[in-house]
Every structure is written in C-alpha cells, then in structure tokens.
Chains A and B, each alone.
Chain A
Amino acid sequence: MSVQSLIYAILAMGVVMLVLRVIPILFKKKIKNKFFNSFLAYIPYAVLTSMIFPEVFSSTSGVVSASIGVVAAVILSYFGQSLLVVSLSSALVVFVVEQIMRLYL
C-alpha cells in the first residue's frame, strides 16, 4: 500500500472512530424509557467485569502472579483504597511474587 493511500485509510479510520464516539454524545435529550435507562446504568459494571475476566490472567508473566495480584486488588478495594493505591499495590505485589518465584522455583 502506498503512503498516500495509507494516509487516506488512516483518515477514514479516524472519521469512523469520531462518528462512533461523538454522535451519541451530541444528543442532549434524556432517555425516558425505564428499561433502556436501567440497561445503560448497568453497562459500566457489565463491561468492566467482562473486560477483566479472563484477560487478567494473561496480563502478567504467569497465572499465579496474576491471581495473587487480583486477590490483592479485591482486598484493598474492599477496604476502600483509592484507584491509584489499589493499582500500584497490585503491580507491586505481582512484581514481588514474580521475583520470589524466580529465586525459589
């Protein structure tokens, strides 16, 4: 593919992304349908959960360190720690677990 048509392809993809992301936001009218409103209210939790599992188990170099990282994140967030504390602590836990495994296993 020539550089010129690659530029066209990139611009076309940019336009599609913009349409997908922006058009629904421009509608200011509030949705009155109770079912659809409830549906939209639950979407974030449903999306987040299905994005976590099962992908999280392949996010680090092994299932063991990832699982321990998940447990750490669940415990810390259960006790009300902030996003930053939970995510950095979980990364630290993964790091420590992997170093220990490297040394002893």
Chain B
Amino acid sequence: MSNSNVKSDYLRGLKDGVPIGLGYIPLAIACGIATSKAGIPFLLSQLMEILIYSGSGLTAAITLFKGGETVVIMYALAILVANCRYMIFSMSLAQRLDPSMNLIERILVGALNTDEVFGVVIKEKGYIKFKYFLGVATMPFVCFALGNALGSFTTDLLPDFISSALGIIIYAMFIALIVPSAKESKPIFVVVAIALIISIIFECIPAVTQFLSAGWIVILCAIITSAIGALLFPVEEKEEV
C-alpha cells in the first residue's frame, strides 16, 4: 500500500469522526461539571475520563462517588454492569478488523472504541483498516478530553441554544448511518423497524424503565432484535449486509 493511501485512510476517518467529536462536547462538559461538583480533583477527573472513556461509565462512577461509596470493587462492578455492551461491540468489530493488525493496534482499537465510533467504522466496506479507525477515533477522543477539562473549570453549561443544537448531532449522525442501508437492504429495514418497535414497547413498560438503566435497555433491545433478524434473514458467508 502506498503512503498516500495510508494518509487518505486516516483523513477520511478523521472527517467521519468530526460529527462524533462535536456531539461529545456538551456531553464531556457535563461530565467535567459533574466531577468537579462531586469534588473530584481536576487531574483525577481527566485520568478517569481517559481511562473509562464512556459517558455511561463516567455517570455510574460519579453517582457512586457522590453517594459516598468507598469500596473499590463496587466501582469496578458498576462499570462492568454499565458497559457490558462493549463486549458485543468488540466481538462484532473483531470479525471485521484488518487481519494484518498487530497486538498494539488491536489494543488501541479496543481502548478508543465507543458506541458512536463503532457505529461509524462498522459501516466500512470490507476490512476495517487501522489508519481509518484511528482517524475516526481521533476527534471524539480529543473533544471528550477538552470538553471534560472545560467543564471542570466552568460552573455553568454552554448557552442553552448551543447545547440544544449540539445535542441532536449524534442522533442525526446515527440516522445518517442507518437510513442509506435501510433504503438498500430489506433485512436491514426490517431489523431497524423491529428495533424501533421494541424500543417503544420498552419505553411504555414502567417496570423496564424503572429497573433497567438506559444502557441495559439498549443492549436488551439490540440482542432481541438481532436474534430475530438472524433467524429471519441469515447472512451468507462473505455477504455484505
């Protein structure tokens, strides 16, 4: 592979990662504000942000800390429960990564993966190259770290009209990831429709929203939907969906 190709893979990824980065800014600022309000020192807040690097994980950690939890193992358990979905993302990713990736590259892919990065890179045709992944993951990581730092030093959120407009960016990006595939493939269209119906049903059952966190509802809905999809429309080997 030529150098220019390597470069363009990274740049192409960088561009695809911009909406994720922008969408993370209000989220990261909110996390920074929450950690500083909880009394976590700035450097530890940054360390926590980088090591956990997941909105749901950080929320779980901050909630425990504010509640005065002192047992270290409880923090580890909370993170485990809040982020089980990453195992499924990583399993799905593992099937699609460029087989020539070395150990360090694979570890980096795992460490820099998020729900949103996963949603973008998995749409690559064929194998996902390391440079492309790194490109996509760059802006989200930088924006999350900067947003968190900014939030730690401000006492107030972004102006309402800005955080409101930024708030929809990630969801609009998800829609842009789904619609073209659903338009071209009937199985994907049906899978999206089933996920939508199950999501709405879950939302209407008070017991579900009361006892399960948003992360668990998403993973439960996704597992049921994908299992139905796999039964209705089995994918042939090497076939692209």
Q: Which residues of A contact B (CB under 8 A)?
A: 1, 3, 5-18, 20-28, 30-31, 34-56, 59-61, 65-66, 69-70, 72-74, 76-78, 80-84, 86-92, 94-95, 98-99
Closest to A35 in B: B230
Q: Which residues of B contact A (CB under 8 A)?
A: 15-16, 18-19, 22-23, 40-41, 44, 47-48, 51-54, 57, 61, 65, 68-70, 72-73, 75-76, 79-80, 83-95, 97, 99, 103, 106-107, 109-111, 113, 115, 118-120, 122-123, 160-161, 164-183, 187-188, 191-192, 194-196, 198-200, 203, 214, 217-219, 221-223, 225-227, 229-231, 233-235, 237, 241
Assuming the contacts A20-B87, A41-B235, asked whether A26 and B181 have C-beta atoms less than 8 A apart, the reply is: no
Assuming the contacts A46-B191, A94-B168, asked whether A86 and B176 have C-beta atoms less than 8 A apart, the reply is: yes
Closest to A48 in B: B174
Assuming the contacts A43-B88, A87-B169, asked whether A49 and B195 have C-beta atoms less than 8 A apart, the reply is: yes
A21 in contact with B199 (CB, 8 Å)? no
Contact of B173 among A13, A36, A83 (CB under 8 A): A83
B44 in contact with A86 (CB, 8 Å)? no
Assuming the contacts A21-B86, A43-B226, asked whether A91 and B91 have C-beta atoms less than 8 A apart, the reply is: no
Assuming the contacts A48-B178, A60-B165, asked whether A42 and B229 have C-beta atoms less than 8 A apart, the reply is: yes
- With a CB–CB cut-off of 8 A, which chain A residues contact B79? 13, 16-17
B94 in contact with A25 (CB, 8 Å)? yes
5 residue pairs from A and B, CB less than 8 Å apart? A10-B44, A39-B226, A42-B225, A46-B194, A53-B199
- With a CB–CB cut-off of 8 A, which chain B residues contact A60? 164-165, 167-168
- Alpha-carbon distance between A87 and B177 when the two chains are bound, in angstroms: 11
- With a CB–CB cut-off of 8 A, which chain A residues contact B93? 24-25
B47 in contact with A25 (CB, 8 Å)? no
Contact of B226 among A21, A42, A82 (CB under 8 A): A42
B221 in contact with A6 (CB, 8 Å)? no
Contact of A17 among B47, B57, B119, B182 (CB under 8 A): B57
B91 in contact with A56 (CB, 8 Å)? no
